[in-house]
Structure 1
């Protein structure tokens, strides 16, 4: 029996919504996107290499932090090659298989970001609220278990999400977005998507409840512990570390929330919706390593030393 796509002559090539830019504006956007991608790769790789090369940073907090640049590189690499291709050659087509792959890794990035930040909040909770038991609780084995839970659970959640999507017949090939994600792909389906929508909402609710719940509880306990601590230097250092985590988390949450809300407002222009969606995959991966590099003294010192060593060998 012929597949649904062959039966209804559905193309395996999808048409993406472009940014409707002039040739001059497209060139400017291409240069900006290229620069953004290079900055994201450079900053995140510098942060990752710094943590890997310095044994003094082989501590639970930094080991957990090292997952953040890995996740940011995954998310940005899922977006930028296709975006640069579109801007440079004004091509607005993508193979369906490539589109699904891009969407999978973009969603993997989104889920991974909140899970990793939640794991980091848990680490800070143990370090500040029960410091005498920190080394007993946050052993290397326990940290690796946390990392495995973060990545495996995130992968399974997204794999099921896209398995449900691929089981549905498709009767359209015109995307409503400049890149691929699950909501845009669902709009190509010509049958009932209730199960997919419910599962998607459950995944979103689960990730948000787990991450927000753990982060809110951890930082509430941390604030109480800092308030009770009589040493101002210890209190200041703890609050500075927590502030860094909160800035990164709130940035991700706000941009993610704007992206989700943009799908609900039908009156919002397509260009605005596309810009909001792209910003979620540009700003957090760019700012995360900069924020941690500037706000975390140990990392900042090691990055400066690493750069000095590289410059001396040139």
Structure 2
């Protein structure tokens, strides 16, 4: 083989390595087993709690209402988002730093899943806000507006918009040649991937910033608009039953949204402070763990229908008296 051809092959391997190195922090090394146990039990709880809620909503026909079916989507999203990230983290914690290697294709899948998880959480919660708005502000037309056909359209839109936006985000990154192999994070993200390139990432930065601004503006804007109208209706209405229902369902939804929003804003803010990279890595883990752990607790405990189903389930398992 000619020398130029050999050189070209070496350059291709060097600049587009099929394997990448994950950079962990010494902080996690010092607390390896506590962090492992925290992640393990958190992941176990996330899977059991969210799968349990999703199963209950699926089999109980009384829960086949827009609010619960939308929450079903949130539970599925939490399961998928954590199942791609957390098991890999558990394995990497116990590995020596030199063995924390990930293939480029697995890294792309991780990055896609991470951004899908975040984006879908926002889009589903936006649709849930619209559902609450219709239920409280137009109760007589609720069944007509939130029909099965509309619910399917909204659900497909929530996942479809997230898929297209994240697909473009990762597509712009995949086109770049890589000249580095060190991922300065515990798991892969779009920013971590395009930072491996020595080419111009101007387009990536512009689209990434636009993507974030549009998502957060649309998300926050829809919440402010819907909750402002709901508040006006509640203040002008003398219907105590309506106000009680609004307070219960809206407070639950708002708490879940604020947890997601604050978690995401924390990571974005910490990206501006390179000296806090260890803190950012830990917060990045919590971004997946905290919302996904609290969602089934908040919605499950607040829903009398879900509590009623669980009470019936446990009552049916009581030991029969012996004769």
1:174-212 deviations in Å (ceiling 9; x for gaps)? 111111111111211111101011111111122112222
For structure 2, the residue ranges without an aligned partner over 5 or more in a row are none
Which residue of the other structure, out of 295, 298, 306, is the alignment partner of 1:299? 306
Kept in 1: contact 2:22–2:101 (CA 8 A): yes
1:39-118 to structure 2, matched below 5 A, reads 39-90=45-96, 91-118=99-126
**Does the C-alpha gap of structure 1 residues 310 and 79 become closer, same or farther in structure 2, counting only changes over 3 Å?**
farther
Q: CA RMSD in A?
A: 2.0
Alpha-carbon distance in structure 1 between the residues aligned to 2:107 and 2:143: 44
**C-alpha distance 33-206 of structure 1, shift in aligned 2 (>3 A):** same
Change beyond 3 A, Cα 1:173–1:142 = same
Q: Does residue 215 of structure 2 align to residue 207 of structure 1? A: yes
**Following TM superposition, by how much is the alpha carbon of 1:128 offset from its aligned partner in structure 2, in angstroms?**
0.4
CA contact (8 A) 1:177 1:184 kept: yes
Query: Which of 38, 41, 62 is residue 44 of structure 2 equivalent to?
Result: 38
- Which of 173, 190, 215 aligns to 1:182? It is 190
Residue 19 of structure 1, aligned match among 25, 37, 42: 25
For the structure 1 residues 132 and 285, does the alpha-carbon distance in structure 2 shift closer, same or farther, using more than 3 Å as the test?
Answer: same
2:170 is aligned with 1:173: no
Deviations 1:197-240, CA, capped at 9 Å, x for gaps: 11111111221122222221111111111112212232122111
Whole-Å Cα distance in 2 between the matches of residues 308 and 84 of structure 1?
A: 37
Q: CA deviation at 1:5?
A: 6.0
Distance 2:221 2:9 in 1: 44
Query: Larger Cα Rg: Structure 1 or Structure 2?
Result: 2
CA distance change for structure 1 residues 154 and 309 in 2, over 3 Å: closer, same or farther? farther
Further displaced range: 302-311 or 122-131: 302-311
1:222-301 equivalent positions in 2, closer than 5 A: 222-268=230-276, 270-301=277-308
1:4-15 equivalence runs, <5 A: 6=12, 8=14, 10-15=16-21
Counterpart in the other structure of 1:143: 151
Distance 1:171 1:311, change over 3 A: farther
Distance 1:112 1:309, change over 3 A: farther
Q: What is the rounded CA distance, in whole Å, between the counterparts of 1:142 and 1:124 in structure 2?
A: 14
Report the Cα distance in structure 2 between the residues aligned to 1:4 and 1:73, rounded to whole angstroms: 41
Map of 1:130 onto structure 2: 138
Distance 2:47 2:199 in 1: 40
* 1:105–1:58 Cα change, 3 Å: same
Name the residue aligned to 1:197.
205
Q: Distance in 1 between matches of 2:21 and 2:225?
A: 45
